Amino acid sequence: MNQLFVGIDVSSKNNVAYLMKPDGSKHSSFSVQNNLGGTKLLSERIVSALNTMQLSDVAIGLEATSIYGDSLVYALREDGSLGHFGRKIHVLNPKQVKKFKDAYSDLPKNDFVDAFVIADHLRFGRINREVYMDDYRYKALQTLTRARFDAVQNLTREKQRFGNYLFLKCSGLAQEKTLSQNTSATTIALMEQFETVDELAYADLETLTAFIAKSGHGKFPDPAATAKAVQAAARGSYRLPKTVRDSVNQALSVTVVAIRAL
Each of the 262 residues of the chain gets a pLDDT tens digit; together they read 689 999 999 999 999 999 999 999 999 999 999 999 999 999 999 999 999 999 999 999 998 877 888 899 989 988 889 989 999 899 888 887 888 888 887 777 667 898 999 999 899 876 655 555 456 777 788 889 999 999 999 999 999 999 999 999 999 988 877 676 767 889 999 999 999 999 999 999 999 999 999 998 888 899 999 999 999 999 999 999 999 999 999 999 999 999 999 8
Strand duo 57-63 + 86-92: pairing: parallel
pTM: 0.67
**pLDDT value of residue 126:** 65
Q: What separation in angstroms does the CA of 98 have from each of 29, 70, 88, 158, 258?
A: 20, 20, 21, 38, 40
Amino acid 208 reads L
* Predicted pLDDT at 104: 80
Terminal-to-terminal C-alpha distance of the chain: 53
CA nearest to 118, candidates 204, 10, 46, 249: 10
Closest C-alpha to 87, from 97, 78, 96, 99: 78
Amino acid 137: pLDDT: 74
Please, what are the domains in the chain?
3-134 (3.30.420.140), 149-261 (no CATH)
